[in-house]
């Protein structure tokens, strides 16, 4: 597994744990607060009712307590009064529970949750056990609904952050892999020819050939360094806007590639000259890598670079147009060069697409916003 993917998995695992812990704590803190307020509410109701009962002779309140019990029951509130285990009044609770000395208990019965308070009612030399409770299932139902909503939000956030993090880390780490690929080959060649020259056992012709190879690979390293500099400028936003003569730009490129055929109808482009030159230079380098037959033509706001090499297969074409790296042996534009092309076009709100023309070969089609283009009259 690639290093950046391992880092992504580690990052997302830590994020998932922190997010899940945070959501769980938040939901439970909210529930605890509501539960405490419910306890206080029921305790206040119990104290008020107990105070009213203590002001009168309990034996004369049986009928009034019966109606009170009916009214309380209709509001999901219940009570019972007993003495020495014997009920003084009919129990209004929808279930039975054993003796308890605890001041408050929570009882689950079927689908309901009952918060029950226990206290002692004293009159003269008599005392009664008083139990007052309330069905608080609405509190737990609300908590369960909040849990479902919270975990739904958790999954949505995890999905969105996962995608954003994946794309961000891929954009950061993938160029590093591409850079190492573009640096490794020239460095290997330079090391090999340097060791070859060091032996001293070679003809004048071999020496000149080895020196030429060293110069060529050193130039390749310089191009890679230029690409890295452009990438840095893109990341930091160091971009100039200027009116670029398309004919002059293409003449410079034709100096590098004398066999390039050009058909240009664009007078100028409003952009950064270094970036546009890098954009076309990278695509031309890739085209000439696959064929000596390369042409560049403009059509409206499009710049089309064609090479007469073997057409790429549809699967690779699809991967390139989705900005995925194909296998190295099937690449028409691998390395950081094409990555830079996409970054440049993203700044100017343009795009790069590959296609297979009916005449064969492969075309790289650059589309720029018409506002940046001034055509020849």
Average pLDDT over residues 234-244: 73
Full domain range(s) for residue 102:
3-145
Q: Is residue 168 part of a domain?
A: no
Distances (CA, A) of 55 to 7, 83, 206, 316: 72, 18, 119, 90
From CA 132, how far away is CA 114, in angstroms rounded? 10
Q: Is residue 219 part of a domain?
A: no
Domain boundary among 145, 166, 194: 145
Beta strands in 226-322 (DSSP E): 242-245, 261-263, 266-271, 294-299, 302-307
Q: Are residues 244 and 366 in the same domain?
A: yes
Q: Are residues 121 and 246 in the same domain?
A: no
pTM: 0.49
Q: Is residue 161 part of a domain?
A: no
The per-residue pLDDT for range 89-136, each reduced to its tens digit, is 655 676 676 666 666 777 777 767 877 777 776 666 667 777 777 778
From CA 105, how far away is CA 133, in angstroms rounded? 9
Domain boundary among 91, 121, 145: 145
Domain boundary among 145, 161, 196: 145
Q: Are residues 129 and 7 in the same domain?
A: yes
Q: Is residue 177 part of a domain?
A: no
Number of structural domains in the chain: 2
Q: Is residue 24 part of a domain?
A: yes
Q: Are residues 8 and 138 in the same domain?
A: yes
The per-residue pLDDT for range 212-229, each reduced to its tens digit, is 888 877 877 777 676 666
- Between 247 and 5, name the one with better pLDDT: 247
Q: Are residues 139 and 21 in the same domain?
A: yes
Q: Are residues 126 and 252 in the same domain?
A: no
104 CA to centre of own chain? 47
The per-residue pLDDT for range 262-286, each reduced to its tens digit, is 999 999 999 888 888 888 988 998 8
Q: Is residue 171 part of a domain?
A: no
Q: Is residue 22 part of a domain?
A: yes
- Where residue 245 falls among pLDDT bands split at 50, 70, 90? very high
Q: What CATH number does the domain containing 348 carry?
A: 3.30.565.10
Q: Are residues 141 and 253 in the same domain?
A: no
Question: 254: which residues sit within 8 A by CB, 6+ positions away?
Answer: 260, 262
Average pLDDT over residues 39-50: 77
Q: Is residue 316 part of a domain?
A: yes
Contact 287, 338 (CB under 8 A): no
Q: What CATH number does the domain containing 53 carry?
A: 3.30.450
Burial status of residue 307 (CB atoms within 10 A of its CB: 0-12, 13-18, 19 or more):
buried
């Amino acid at each position: 597994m690639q290093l950046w993917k391992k880092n992504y998995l580690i990052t997302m695992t830590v994020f998932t744990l922190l997010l899940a812990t945070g959501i769980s704590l938040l939901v439970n803190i909210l529930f605890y607060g509501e539960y405490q307020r419910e306890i206080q509410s029921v305790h206040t109701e119990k104290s008020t009712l107990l105070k009213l009962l203590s002001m009168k002779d309990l034996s004369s309140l049986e009928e009034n307590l019966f109606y009170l019990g009916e009214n309380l029951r209709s509001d999901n509130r219940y009570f019972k009064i007993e003495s020495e285990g014997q009920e003084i009044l009919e129990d209004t609770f929808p279930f039975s529970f054993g003796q308890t000395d605890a001041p408050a208990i929570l009882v689950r019965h079927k689908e309901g949750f009952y918060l029950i308070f226990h206290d002692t009612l004293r009159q003269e030399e008599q005392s009664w056990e008083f139990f007052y409770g309330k069905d608080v299932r609405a509190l737990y139902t609300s908590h369960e609904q909040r849990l479902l909503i919270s975990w739904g939000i958790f999954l949505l956030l995890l999905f969105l952050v996962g995608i954003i993090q994946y794309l961000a880390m891929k954009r950061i780490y993938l160029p590093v892999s591409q850079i190492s690929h573009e640096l490794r080959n020239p460095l290997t060649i330079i090391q090999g020819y340097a060791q070859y020259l060091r032996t001293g056992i070679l003809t004048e012709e071999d020496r000149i050939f080895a020196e030429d190879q060293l110069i060529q690979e050193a130039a390749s390293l310089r191009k890679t360094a230029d690409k890295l500099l452009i990438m840095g400028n893109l990341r930091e936003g160091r971009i100039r806007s200027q009116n670029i003569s398309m004919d002059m730009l293409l003449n410079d490129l034709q100096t590098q590639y004398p066999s390039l055929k050009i058909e240009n109808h664009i007078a100028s482009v409003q952009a950064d000259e270094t970036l546009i030159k890098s954009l076309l230079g990278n695509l031309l380098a890739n085209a000439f890598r696959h064929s000596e037959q390369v042409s560049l033509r403009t059509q409206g706001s499009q710049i089309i670079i064609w090479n007469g090499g073997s057409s790429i297969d549809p699967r690779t074409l699809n991967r390139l147009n989705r900005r995925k790296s194909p296998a190295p042996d099937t690449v028409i534009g691998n390395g950081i060069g094409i990555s830079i092309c996409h970054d440049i076009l993203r700044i100017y709100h343009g795009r790069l697409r590959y296609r297979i023309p009916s005449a064969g070969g492969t075309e790289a089609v650059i589309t720029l916003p018409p506002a940046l283009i001034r055509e020849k009259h």
